[in-house]
Amino acid sequence: MRVDLAPVPLAEKAALRAMFDPYLIAHADLVDPERRHGDPLQQPYFDLYWNEPGREPLWILADGARAGFVLLNVHSPSGLGVDRSLAEFCVLPERRREGVGRAAALAALARTAGTWELQVYRANVAAMAFWPKVIAAARPRAWDEIALAERVVHRFVLAARER
């Protein structure tokens, strides 16, 4: 199976939103079932992915078909500053456990050398297991796990890939 990443053009913003909203609800059901942090659909940053520098919305394509999305930006969950951050990552449920997620995550990380961060909520047991394996496979030069109350921030440095 071939897994690629492709930019989400403005013309496909509504299609991404249709995939993004169920992802937000499922994530909130897992990590914030009492909705202490409010309505998960009130995500103020979504529209910025098409007009703010440093933000990049990407489709995950498996054999040419949409299988999920990745949102990259330059926000540092730790507050220490980054070159790139993996803000949101979703593989559609019907495409999970096929290697799509690992291939897409590695492709996303290969896009930019430098200091990266991504955060994982402890309540998301699958993500807590998934991301350390992916980061290790990306062969970081340095890697710290910053433990916060409800989440872990993975902070790591990736070298430029030889082409």
Helix runs in 35-163, H state only? 100-109, 125-137
**Which positions ≥6 away from 54 have C-beta within 8 Å?**
73, 74
Q: In the sheet that 142-147 helps form, which strands lie side by side, from edge to edge? A: 3-7, 56-62, 65-73, 84-91, 114-121, 151-158, 142-147
Dist CA 22 CA 41 (whole Å): 9
pTM of the model: 0.92
List, in order of start, the domains of the chain with CATH numbers: 3-158 (3.40.630.30)
Distance between alpha carbon 63 and the CA centroid of its chain, in Å?
20
Dist CA 117 CA 83 (whole Å): 9
Mean pLDDT, 10 residues at a time, over the chain (163 residues)?
A: 96 96 81 66 87 97 96 97 97 90 97 96 94 97 94 95 59
